[in-house]
Structure 1
Amino acid sequence: MISSPPVAPPEPPDAPDLPVRPKKQRTASLVLYIGLVLLALWVVRDFIAVVAWAGVIAIALWPVLRKVEGNRWFTGRTTLIAAVLTLLIALLVVLPVGIGIAQALREAHDMNEWFKTVQENGIPLPDFVQHLPFGVQQISGWWQANLAQPLRGSAAMKGLHSPTVMTLGRHFGARAVHAVMVFAFVLVTLFVIFQAGPRLSGSLLKAMRRGFGDDGAQLLQRMAAAVRGTVSGLVVVGLGEGALMGAAYFVTGLPHVALLGFVTAIAAMLPFCAPITFGIAALWLLSQGSVAAAIGLVVFGSVVVFVAEHFVRPVLIGNSTRLPFLLVLFGILGGAETFGLLGIFIGPALMTVLMVLWTDLVQ
């Protein structure tokens, strides 16, 4: 009897396609989430800078906020603390601007009278021109031919009423209104951040730990420290430059020394903006015939700015952020060039990320 060949056992049915479907769903969900986030960022694109500025200010003042919250007199009064801190920030910006506008309005009458005199009689040759070591005849001849004559019918006066000047004036007004609106939104955002307080910081750290582990949370803290150190360095150096230049203004005999020193301190908090203030002051001294005082002011101010911007400020920021000197300097200058004024604070934070990645790579 011939035995039949053994029958092969039936192949097991294909495994259910259960793991594939969740993977596809996760991929689709990820794409959907990314798309929604990008869409949301596009919708609020005009307010990203507002949130960034509010974040920088909040990070800089966060230790103050925590210290005030720890006081038993302010326990549980989060809204009051947020309102007071926001009001102080508003006054810190509004008061200098208001003082400057008030001073400009006081000088407006004299400026108007000078403008009328220039139209009728021209601009007289400054006394310091006669004391220049060279070029006296050339400068005097050009001045007499172009500026010493009545300027009512000159091309310069006609140009003041040209459509281009009017357009520039309207553009400046629109930019000023836009700046006021941005500042108002920054204050509102800052109030909300202060009011959220520890809940917001705790949520951010929790999200970083969940997404990137403990290293991500530490990186976030170091980036915040970099921003805080940058703000501290800018403020300290700005106040120092303002004090030194205020003393120079007093020595050279400039009027309104306190106001000029304060304006210089505010300008010096921004990299390489202090020369604008002492440059204008030097021009005023030059117009009054004080050539030596003007030259001395420019030389002294240039030395102060050079030392402060290239040595003192990077060292202060580097010590608080544990960044090398060059990384701080490149972060400030490169950030300002790439992102504008906000980049002054973003640059050192990005350099902190670079330093952390390099440290993890070599260790």
Structure 2
Amino acid sequence: MSPDQAETVTAPGRGSTAARIALALGLLLLGLWTLHRYLPALAWAVILAVAVWPLYRRARRRWPARGHGILLPAVFALAVALLFLLPLGLLTIQAAREAGALARWLQEAERSGLPVPAWLAALPHAGPRAAAWWQANLADPGAAGELLRWLNQAGAIAYGRQLGADLLHRAVLFGFTILGLFFLLRDGEALAAQVLRGSARALGPAGERVARQMVASVHGTVDGLVLVGLAEGVLLGIAYAVAGVPHPTLLGALTVLAAIIPFAAPIVFGAAALLLVAQGATGAGAALFGFGMVVLFVADHAVRPALIGGATRLPFLLVLLGILGGVESWGLLGLFLGPAIMAALVLLWQEWTAAPAAARVQG
């Protein structure tokens, strides 16, 4: 066969391969654009499925075979939904109870103003200036009433327009998350096998290891962030109750949410300590803040590095950067996507820079 004939035979094959790749990429981009509003819900469904999969697999071994198709994944999906809805319901009930007291406090502030707290003037450097501003703007009934009415109008205008639409949108996304979780649990084994085969084809021998490492990193991140954050919230909630902080259950729930994000918990227990100081309980406030710092130090420097770093096989600095960078780029999803992406990148780098097998044997 002449070179011209060989080029004629091979050219169509190359062209058809390039066309298939272009078509596949085009369809992928089109699909992502079609689903872009629901991708966060699907991503959360994947994260939740990975997190509960060990428990689901253990329960499936003991569950009757006829319940694997619908009943068992439906039970797990409903349990996960209640895990989110029950705390939100309790917070809503507590907020509704506090709404009446807040409204009465605002009415009293409009009538008689807000007296200057005794501790404000005692603050170093800025205390007298802050007390003077408070006296001029909040202690006077007229000025306080005008300011509070302006805040009420601004808040109503700012939040009233979008609140209903945002709640509806988030409720729809949450519903799709739970629905996606149901299907991921029901078809989890088949989907996992497909992902492993696709990773092996796309990335070669390292593809399956990368996929498994990303799953392990999600498990480690769930344990290191969610479970440790829950433990921090329980311990600090007990400390709130012992120290006499108002509404310790509500503050404990807020501490759980804040403790999931690195370095955010001190905002909550620091505010609780300042509240005690404002009430005159300086010793209790200092003790609460010190206890919170001890709990935070143990959690962030001992427990979390062991759970997350051990699962992701990453130094804790890279884990921390992955979490913070992920939150900045992806929102709350970044708490779990960031470490998973970092783990995949580090594993690919290790595979890329590893010495050849012959060189390792000779060495």
User: Given the two structures, how large is their TM-score scaled by the length of structure 2?
Assistant: 0.87
Q: Secondary structure at the match of 2:139?
A: coil
The 5-angstrom pairing of residues 215-254 of structure 1 reads 215-254=206-245
The aligned residue for residue 275 of structure 2 is: 284
Q: Could you tell me how far 1:259 is from its partner in structure 2?
A: 4.0
Distance 1:127 1:48, change over 3 A: same
Superimposed CA distance per residue, residues 296-322 of structure 1 (whole angstroms, 9 cap, x where no aligned partner): 433433443355335532332011222
Q: Secondary structure at the match of 1:144?
A: helix
The aligned residue for residue 135 of structure 2 is: 144
The 5-angstrom pairing of residues 101-112 of structure 1 reads 101-112=92-103
Pairing partner for 1:51 from 39, 42, 47: 42
Q: Could you tell me how far 1:65 is from its partner in structure 2?
A: 1.7
Distance 1:171 1:278, change over 3 A: farther
The 5-angstrom pairing of residues 1-363 of structure 1 reads 15=5, 17-74=8-65, 76-129=67-120, 137-151=128-142, 154-162=145-153, 165-360=156-351, 361-363=353-355
For 1:55, the aligned partner's letter is V
Distance 1:151 1:86, change over 3 A: farther
The total of aligned residue pairs comes to 353
Gaps of 5+ in 2: 356-363
For 1:265, the aligned partner's letter is V
Given that residues 274 and 285 in structure 2 are in contact (C-alpha distance below 8 angstroms), is that contact kept between their aligned partners in structure 1? yes
* 131-140 or 187-196, larger mean C-alpha shift: 131-140
* 64-73 or 215-224, larger mean C-alpha shift: 64-73
Q: Could you tell me how far 1:85 is from its partner in structure 2?
A: 0.9
The aligned residue for residue 361 of structure 2 is: none
User: Given the two structures, how large is their TM-score scaled by the length of structure 1?
Assistant: 0.87
Q: Could you tell me how far 1:184 is from its partner in structure 2?
A: 1.5
Q: Could you tell me how far 1:258 is from its partner in structure 2?
A: 3.8
Given that residues 118 and 151 in structure 1 are in contact (C-alpha distance below 8 angstroms), is that contact kept between their aligned partners in structure 2? no
Distance 1:72 1:182, change over 3 A: closer
Given that residues 236 and 255 in structure 2 are in contact (C-alpha distance below 8 angstroms), is that contact kept between their aligned partners in structure 1? yes
Given that residues 209 and 215 in structure 1 are in contact (C-alpha distance below 8 angstroms), is that contact kept between their aligned partners in structure 2? yes
Distance 1:151 1:228, change over 3 A: farther
Cα-Cα RMSD:
2.7
Structure of larger gyration radius = 1
Q: Aligned equivalents of 1:23 and 1:186: distance in 2?
A: 41
Given that residues 69 and 75 in structure 1 are in contact (C-alpha distance below 8 angstroms), is that contact kept between their aligned partners in structure 2? no
Q: Aligned equivalents of 1:244 and 1:117: distance in 2?
A: 36
Q: Could you tell me how far 1:158 is from its partner in structure 2?
A: 3.8
* 310-319 or 163-172, larger mean C-alpha shift: 163-172
For 1:15, the aligned partner's letter is Q
For 1:362, the aligned partner's letter is A
Q: Aligned equivalents of 1:279 and 1:14: distance in 2?
A: 79
Given that residues 121 and 130 in structure 2 are in contact (C-alpha distance below 8 angstroms), is that contact kept between their aligned partners in structure 1? no
Gaps of 5+ in 1: 1-10
Given that residues 129 and 139 in structure 1 are in contact (C-alpha distance below 8 angstroms), is that contact kept between their aligned partners in structure 2? yes
Report percent identity of matched pairs. Answer: 42
Q: Aligned equivalents of 1:93 and 1:196: distance in 2?
A: 23
Q: Could you tell me how far 1:177 is from its partner in structure 2?
A: 3.0
